[in-house]
Structure 1
């Protein structure tokens, strides 16, 4: 079953862009990792303190392997709050059907 990890984290507004840029190395490496369908860490266009996280993995096994090999962010910025959740997906399909 595929795995999604998604949700917002909140940092100080002045630190948000550095947070996103500091995680670029993770995004680049994950997108090259076998079994990663997508990974994005991006600034929210509405809330100045919000960063949106999205990960889409082929399986729990692939995610576990990624976590064992993943690089560290290039900056350490405290997360004030977050609502990131992991979802195990039993079925997927065309969103317009």
Structure 2
């Protein structure tokens, strides 16, 4: 399993426009083979922060997704910075609170 997670920053006034522009690609990505979860969401505390979380069955599924990505159909608000990492996971178990 592969997890891709991180954060990005945009001008707070442009964050909603960015998230709206990504809705179709989020739906499409979630339907791709090997995609277990995919979300780009507004951070509840920092007005200009956007959180990214992806979970894929394998590196191969993630690679196929990245290879098939098309450039956005319309311009998106400029991302000021991004910090995203990829994690290879060897196992998991349910988490109890």
**TM-score with structure 2 length normalisation?**
0.90
The equivalent residue for 1:79 is 79
Deviation at 1:94, TM superposition (A): 1.1
Structure 2: runs of 5 or more not aligned: none
Q: Which has the larger displacement, 87-96 or 8-17?
A: 87-96
For residues 82 and 70 of structure 1, the distance between their equivalents in structure 2, rounded to whole angstroms, comes to: 18
For residues 6 and 23 of structure 1, the distance between their equivalents in structure 2, rounded to whole angstroms, comes to: 16
CA RMSD of aligned residues (A): 1.5
**TM-score with structure 1 length normalisation?**
0.90
The total of aligned residue pairs comes to 96
Q: Which has the larger displacement, 66-75 or 12-21?
A: 66-75
Look up the SS of the partner of 1:76 in the other structure: coil
